[in-house]
């Protein structure tokens, strides 16, 4: 039988490296680097709500950390320390295979980004995983949501909509081919946080957000915080082959594909704005970061968002949910 302390010691205790004091005392101790500010954020994933309870545990360990790293990426911060609040069912607390796989997935990503687990809390109850993350950012340099200015280009990294298409596949709303499923389920289960991109955007971007709730919804937050409007060129939004096929006019899954592309969520890509003079510098980041970057629209004065097709007409969005974005 694993006690609470067995779980902590066996699976979640590592020697402190960058912390003054790590797991094992009443609190961890960390020192802030001179000239840097802390960026602090927390995200909770609830079984049955944010993930299927039978999700492969190594992937789950990766994902809970990835969504937190993504928030650091969106601020341009260097992720440094994490604490983990873990609520486990009694069956999972005794399931060493699950605990081992979960903690391995978690630490593999933590090691990759040199972010250190310095403490947490372990309790019994319905599976629930909360992570608090602390990053560091050069004082005054953080990428905020409120910095977009009229004339800015709007950019997005990667291929938004892939994760949502993977989810629709699991929900049997769409049938993907085997290679499509592999790529979309990887996007859903093991997203890559864009930390290096976020760091590279300091001094180039005026504003940034990570796309967790859908491209238009999250861009909407930038617009609101900055007090500006936007025009999006629908055809410029990058599409993976799986989405591109389904966006063809006669494809029965076209509406679902539009939905995934514009409002899918779970992408953990960065959406950011930058002045036109930074266009070449940003395009150059594709080489240095290895991440696809697409210029999808322009920031305007005023309020609201228009999504235009190639002929310059507003995209006719059949799904009711979209009124929310267009009517503003």
Q: Which of ligand ADP, Mg ion, none binds 25 (CB below 5-8 Å, type-dependent)?
A: ligand ADP
Asked whether the beta carbons of 82 and 65 are under 8 A apart, the reply is yes
Q: How far is the CB of 163 from ligand ADP (least distance, A)?
A: 26
Pure H helices in 153-201:
162-170, 178-189, 195-200
> Are 303 and 328 spatial neighbours (Cβ–Cβ below 8 Å)?
yes
Element (H or E) spanning 299, and its range?
strand 293-300
Q: Of 8 and 142, which CB lies nearer to ligand ADP in the complex structure?
A: 8
Q: Is 250 in the site for Mg ion (CB under 5 A)?
A: no
The binder of 86, among Mg ion, ligand ADP, none, by C-beta within 5 to 8 A per type, is: ligand ADP
Instruction: Identify whether the C-beta of residue 68 lies closer than 8 Å to the C-beta of residue 113.
Output: no
In the DSSP assignment, the letter for residue 176 is -
54 near Mg ion (CB under 5 A): no
CA 95/CA 48 separation, integer angstroms: 19
Q: Which is nearer to ligand ADP, 120 or 191 (CB)?
A: 120
Name the one residue in this structure whose structure tokens are 């070449």. Answer: 280
Number of H helices, E strands in the chain: 12, 10
Is 23 or 233 the residue whose CB approaches Mg ion more closely? 23
Residue with Cβ nearer ligand ADP (24 or 48) = 24
Q: Is position 25 an interface residue for Mg ion (rule: CB under 5 A)?
A: no
Identify which of 234, 246, 239, 250 has the alpha carbon closest to the alpha carbon of residue 308.
Answer: 234
CB of 27 to Mg ion, least distance (A): 8
Q: Is 26 in the site for Mg ion (CB under 5 A)?
A: yes
Least distance to ligand ADP from the beta carbon of 124, Å?
12
Report the interface residues with ligand ADP, using CB under 6 A: 8, 12, 23-26, 84, 86, 117, 119-122
* Residue 216: CB minimum distance to Mg ion, A: 45
Stretch that binds Mg ion, among 19-27, 241-249, 251-259, 272-280 (CB under 5 A): 19-27
- What is the rounded distance in angstroms from the CA atom of residue 13 to the CA atom of residue 53? 24
What residue ranges bind Mg ion (CB under 5 A)?
Answer: 26
């Amino acid at each position: 039988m694993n006690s609470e302390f067995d779980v902590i010691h066996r699976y979640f205790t590592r020697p402190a490296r960058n912390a003054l004091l790590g797991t094992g005392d009443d609190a961890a101790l960390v020192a802030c680097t001179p000239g840097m500010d802390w960026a602090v954020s927390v995200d909770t994933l609830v079984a049955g709500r944010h993930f299927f309870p039978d999700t492969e545990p190594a992937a789950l360990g990766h994902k809970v950390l990835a969504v937190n790293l993504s928030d650091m990426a969106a601020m341009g911060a260097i992720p440094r320390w994490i604490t983990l609040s873990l609520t486990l069912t009694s069956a999972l607390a005794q399931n060493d295979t699950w605990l081992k796989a979960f903690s391995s997935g978690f630490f593999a990503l933590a090691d990759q980004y040199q972010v250190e687990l310095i403490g947490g809390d372990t309790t019994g109850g319905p599976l629930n995983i909360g992570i608090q993350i602390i990053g560091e950012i050069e004082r005054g340099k953080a990428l905020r949501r409120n910095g977009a200015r009229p004339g800015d280009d709007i950019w997005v990294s990667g291929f938004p909509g892939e994760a949502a298409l993977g989810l629709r596949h699991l929900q049997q709303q769409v049938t993907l081919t085997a290679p499509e499923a592999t790529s979309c389920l990887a996007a859903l289960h093991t997203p890559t946080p864009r930390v290096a991109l976020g760091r590279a955007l300091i001094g180039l971007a005026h504003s940034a957000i990570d796309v967790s709730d859908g491209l238009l919804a999250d861009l909407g937050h930038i617009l609101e915080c900055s007090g500006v409007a936007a025009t999006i060129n629908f055809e410029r939004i990058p599409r993976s082959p799986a989405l591109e096929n389904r966006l063809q006019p006669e494809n029965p899954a076209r509406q679902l594909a539009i939905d995934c592309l514009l409002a899918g969520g779970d992408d953990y890509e960065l959406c950011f704005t930058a002045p036109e003079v930074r266009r070449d510098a940003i395009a150059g980041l594709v080489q240095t970061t290895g991440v696809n970057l697409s210029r999808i629209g322009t920031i305007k004065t005023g309020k609201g968002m228009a999504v235009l097709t190639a002929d310059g007409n507003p995209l006719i969005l059949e799904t009711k949910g979209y009124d929310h974005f267009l009517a503003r």
